[in-house]
Amino acid sequence: MCGVFGVVLPGGEPTDAASIAALGLFALQHRGQESAGLAVSDGDQLMLYKDLGMISSVLDERRLPSLRGQIAIAHCRYSTTGSTVWENAQPTYRLGPRRALAIGHNGNLVNTRDLLAQLTGGRARLPASTDTELLTALLADEPAADTVEALRQVLPRVRGAYSLVVLDERRVIGVRDPFGFRPLVLGRLPATEAPGASALWTDEDASAGWCLSSETAALDIVGAEYVRDVLPGEMVILEPGQAPRSVRFAEATPALCVFELIYFARPDSYMEGRNLYEARRLMGMQLAIEHPIDADLVMPVPDTGAPAAAGYAEGSGLPYREGMYRNRYAGRTFIQPSAGLRHRGVTIKLNPLREVVNGKRLIVVDDSIVRGTTTKRIVELLRKAGATEVHVRISAPPIYHPCFYGIDTSVETELIAATHSEPEIQEFIGADSLGYLSIRGVLAALELPYERFCFACFDGHYPEPVPYDAKSRKFMLEEAVVGR
Ligand code: SF4
């Protein structure tokens, strides 16, 4: 996954773009917790700071005042190519013969080996082992006169998922791959609210500040209003004191990751014109229609299962209760990088509310089962707290196939639905019954056509073909890194 944010302020003295970018990024923390970073330009020079850890510990008040400039990008990371080391934190930075560049990337490329071969015949040594580092090197070394032209030259050779924020000395460019796998939105900071706004600007758009963000929720936090999505196959160029410019670099074949709407993005964000809390509530109502069962109460797996559980309760007419406390200071289980950490994460994170669940027949609603280990632990904990029946309902279809576009489930054997039948999964997790929402049910809740989305992890139809070598890709660039 990963979260990206970019900001351009209107003009005048070097200002506080870094603080706005950090604030925006803070709203995207759920998209990646391994590292955070920020790059800023004062119109002349790029400065960058990044480190492993959560955003609040990396971009704190000791760092931000020294990052002065009018334009900035920020990134939080969840790894899909390359290990969790400092070098792989983003934004990336590279000083090429014609330009200095910093890039924040959400997504995952699928032709990384081909791209490496294009970089001095594959003999290039990279400072880090991510697909983003490779893309940054290709763009910085591209002989085209400016960054927009370099993007036009390089992007047609790049395959896979990429929503980018690109920073050079003078501008921020938002880029979305032709499928638009990952979201990217454009927002506008009103001129009166944009710190550093100059009264000299008369054109309304030129006097505004502009933002790019993975999700609309981050626009709300910085006081920007949503303007529109960056379109698949489009780049949006933001420069201080100018209205945004749009350049199409490829034909759009939209395939937004449906998992963003089901689970990953914040419920207060909007995608495809849908508020995600509402979308998930409606998915829960569909789930109640598809998999009804008699029980005493409906409860969510906190926090992400809550909207669908509310919808299931509404659809079934059963009472809704919160049956578990979630420790909000523990990271999201699904995006911890190693199996060891994931296991620890479940046990420290969730605690049943005995008063609510004791002696009750429960319908427990969650938004996905990936490996099955978390759900199994939850069922165990609820039974130990006195639940007499535990019926598991999932507001997504079973995940049969790995994702190569930005979620780290590349090994099919990690996916319980790929290796077990539904009765076997029910037995493994120890539930009294199990029901998944169908693809048809997801679409009915969204009231949108199948063709708008990627459903590949549910039905195996990959919009962008995935080469064989990309299927074992996470650490494929390690050998190209300097000093390893
Ligand atoms: S394969 Fe699944 S997780 Fe990956 S982009 Fe497609 S729908 Fe999203």
Q: Quote the pLDDT of residue 201.
A: 37
DSSP line for 148-185: HHHHHHHGGG--B--EEEEE-SS-EEEEE-TT--S--E
Is the pLDDT at 261 greater than 70? The verdict is: yes
Q: Do 202 and 54 have their domain in common?
A: yes
Q: Do 61 and 144 have their domain in common?
A: yes
Q: What is the Cα–Cα distance from 362 to 297, expressed in whole angstroms?
A: 5
- pLDDT interval class at 214 (50, 70, 90): very high
Instruction: Please write the tens of the pLDDT for every residue from 386-437.
Output: 999 999 999 999 999 999 998 876 577 789 999 999 999 999 999 999 999 9
8 Å CB contact between 238 and 171: yes
Q: Do 241 and 346 have their domain in common?
A: no
Ligand 1, closest atom to CA 181?
5
Q: Identify any residues that bridge with 236 across adjacent strands, giving them in sequence order.
A: 174, 246
Asked if residue 263 belongs to a domain, the reply is no
Ligand 1, closest atom to CA 401?
1
Percent of the chain with pLDDT over 90: 71
Q: Do 421 and 362 have their domain in common?
A: yes
- pLDDT interval class at 48 (50, 70, 90): very high
Is the pLDDT at 195 greater than 60? The verdict is: no
Nearest-CA residue for ligand 1 atom 8 is 257
Mutating to test ligand 1, I would choose from 407, 412, 452 the residue with most ligand atoms within 8 A of its C-beta, which is 407
Asked if residue 265 belongs to a domain, the reply is no
Q: Quote the pLDDT of residue 194.
A: 46
Nearest-CA residue for ligand 1 atom 5 is 257
How wide is the angle at C-alpha 379 spanned by C-alphas 375 and 385, nearest 5°?
145
Mutating to test ligand 1, I would choose from 162, 179, 257, 451 the residue with most ligand atoms within 8 A of its C-beta, which is 257
Instruction: Please write the tens of the pLDDT for every residue from 342-385.
Output: 555 566 788 999 999 999 999 999 999 998 988 999 999 999 99
Nearest-CA residue for ligand 1 atom 4 is 403
8 Å CB contact between 369 and 426: no
Q: Do 250 and 312 have their domain in common?
A: no
Q: Quote the pLDDT of residue 333.
A: 46
Pocket residues: Cβ below 6 A from ligand 1? 181, 257-259, 403, 405, 407, 454-457
Q: Do 371 and 244 have their domain in common?
A: no
Ligand 1, closest atom to CA 406?
4
Look at the chain and report how many structural domains it folds into. 2
Provide the pairing of β-strand 3-8 with 225-229.
unpaired
8 Å CB contact between 288 and 315: yes
Asked if residue 266 belongs to a domain, the reply is no
Q: Tell which wins on pLDDT, 142 or 80.
A: 142
Please state, rounded to an integer, the average pLDDT across all residues of the chain.
Answer: 89
Q: Quote the pLDDT of residue 154.
A: 96
Q: Do 230 and 325 have their domain in common?
A: no
CATH of residue 394: 3.40.50.2020
The domain in which residue 120 lies consists of 3-255+473-480
- Is residue 2 part of the annotated active site? The answer reads yes
Asked if residue 36 belongs to a domain, the reply is yes
Query: Measured in angstroms, how far is the CA atom of residue 275 from the centroid of ligand 1?
Result: 20
Residue 301: strand, helix, or coil:
coil
Average pLDDT on 225-250 reads 96
CATH of residue 107: 3.60.20.10
Q: Tell which wins on pLDDT, 196 or 202.
A: 196
Asked if residue 468 belongs to a domain, the reply is no
Q: Do 408 and 344 have their domain in common?
A: yes
Nearest-CA residue for ligand 1 atom 2 is 457
Query: Measured in angstroms, how far is the CA atom of residue 257 from the centroid of ligand 1?
Result: 5
Q: Do 232 and 177 have their domain in common?
A: yes
pTM of the predicted protein model: 0.91
Ligand 1, closest atom to CA 182?
5
Q: What is the Cα–Cα distance from 31 to 107, expressed in whole angstroms?
A: 11
Query: Measured in angstroms, how far is the CA atom of residue 46 from the centroid of ligand 1?
Result: 34
Give φ, ψ of 179 to 5 degrees.
Answer: -90, -20
Q: Do 169 and 241 have their domain in common?
A: yes
Asked if residue 267 belongs to a domain, the reply is no
Average pLDDT on 180-192 reads 89
Q: Do 352 and 414 have their domain in common?
A: yes
Return the minimum-mean-pLDDT range out of 75-84, 154-163, 301-310: 75-84
Asked if residue 27 belongs to a domain, the reply is yes
Query: Measured in angstroms, how far is the CA atom of residue 418 from the centroid of ligand 1?
Result: 15
Asked if residue 261 belongs to a domain, the reply is no
Q: Do 191 and 335 have their domain in common?
A: no
